[in-house]
Chains A and B, each alone.
Chain A
């Protein structure tokens, strides 16, 4: 049987919620695919578009940015800024010709371990048929 493609997903997780949510999923022994490379950031609002382009150029098959639900930001409004900025990034990447599934965003609070596992499962399932991301990968 041919081996299934395992996407590598870079996940920028907010320290105050999504990271804690991922932690909760771990300590509660929930199972989810080991395809993500979590990177803890202080706020989803601190994720520069450059981080996303850079992750894709270093060979990530998908990028996930996860932050607090609107209204729950530890810094009051960081996730609102993130939402606006990353919406533009998503549109730009699609316009350039990258598959829209490659860049995703989610709101995960510290108690939503289950939701986090579900998001990762969905993401892996969506990225598997696309195969490796070779479009923005640095090629020299």
Chain B
């Protein structure tokens, strides 16, 4: 079990030493079970921190804002930023280091091992407790998740029933890079890591097309999946024509000549294009933190796309995402014996 006291202790220690700029963790908000990211700047604020199965956010995303802030400031504070990382988040850190977006010394990582558990899926929880209002969700020592409802009833739920799909298929449920690791490094045994995508792989081409069209036609193009992704850090997005970097020197002609690869209309054809672009840009980079799927307001199963490319990268090129920050990214390297049976 990860002890919250120990976590607070470590954060307090590092904050009072002044070696980090601020610490990003999780805190409770409103009266319910939900948590939100917390920015801790003073050692006396560490009591706000919590660690529950509802800490599903990937905090690595905030490093983009930090990097932009640093670029803007005249005399930036270059001390590292501290943050809590779960297994998946630590892999995201590795990918960002691989891509030279951040350096290892820019972050101070407190890793928390998920220890055979993981984080919950909000939708699964709602489905599991119809009519009940959970007030608190806690890890319980017996590999179950304890839910305390509004009317003070305690319910123990088997972890596998409300854990997020990604946690059930997680290749490493402990941080692969961290300064301090809390909890035990136990590897969960995953029997079928690609269980969620296999039904779709078995479908015929036409069935798959109608399945994905049904999903994509719902897309609102709110770009929440892009905003929340720890890997989507470009200042200009090829899939969105209004985020072109425009300066005072940009002429009207230059603006007009920008290539518009994909229109912003939420038409099925454009949505498909957008999701293709998003998926291919995450090939070999997606760490399967499941944030895109979680934030999607219309519940498009985006994880299925990312997982498919993760599987292909592993099967075709033997590449595993986020385990080794010293190796080059997937599509920036090659092997002489890469498969080429599809080429004439």
Contacts and interface: CB of A to CB of B under 8 A. Distances in A.
Interface of A: 49-50, 53-54, 57, 70, 77, 80-81, 83-85, 87-100, 104-107, 119, 122, 135-140
Contacts of A122: 344
Given A85-B331, A88-B312, A107 B209 contact: no
B313 A88 contact: yes
B205 A104 contact: no
B334 A119 contact: no
Contacts, number: 113
Contact of B269 (A57, A91, A96, A107): A57
B344 A89 contact: no
Interface string B212-230: 1100000000000000000
> Would you call the interface of chain B mostly helix, strand, loop, or mixed?
helix
Interface of B: 200-201, 205-213, 238, 261-263, 265, 267-270, 272-273, 276-277, 279-280, 283-284, 305, 308-309, 312-313, 316-317, 330-334, 336, 338-340, 342-344
Contact of B212 (A77, A87, A91, A97): A97
8 contacts: A57-B273, A70-B336, A81-B332, A84-B333, A88-B331, A91-B308, A96-B272, A136-B272
Given A87-B316, A140-B269, A95 B343 contact: no
B204 to A, nearest CB: 9
B308 A92 contact: yes
Given A95-B308, A96-B272, A138-B270, 15 more contacts: A49-B277, A80-B338, A83-B343, A84-B334, A87-B338, A88-B313, A88-B331, A91-B309, A93-B276, A95-B208, A96-B208, A97-B205, A97-B211, A105-B344, A107-B343
Nearest to A56: B273
A88 B339 CA distance: 11
Given A80-B338, A87-B339, A97-B205, A92 B280 contact: yes
Contacts of B333: 84
Contact of B276 (A53, A70, A100, A106): A53
A50 B338 contact: no
Contacts of B331: 81, 84-85, 88
Contacts of A88: 280, 283-284, 309, 312-313, 316, 331
Contacts of B268: 139
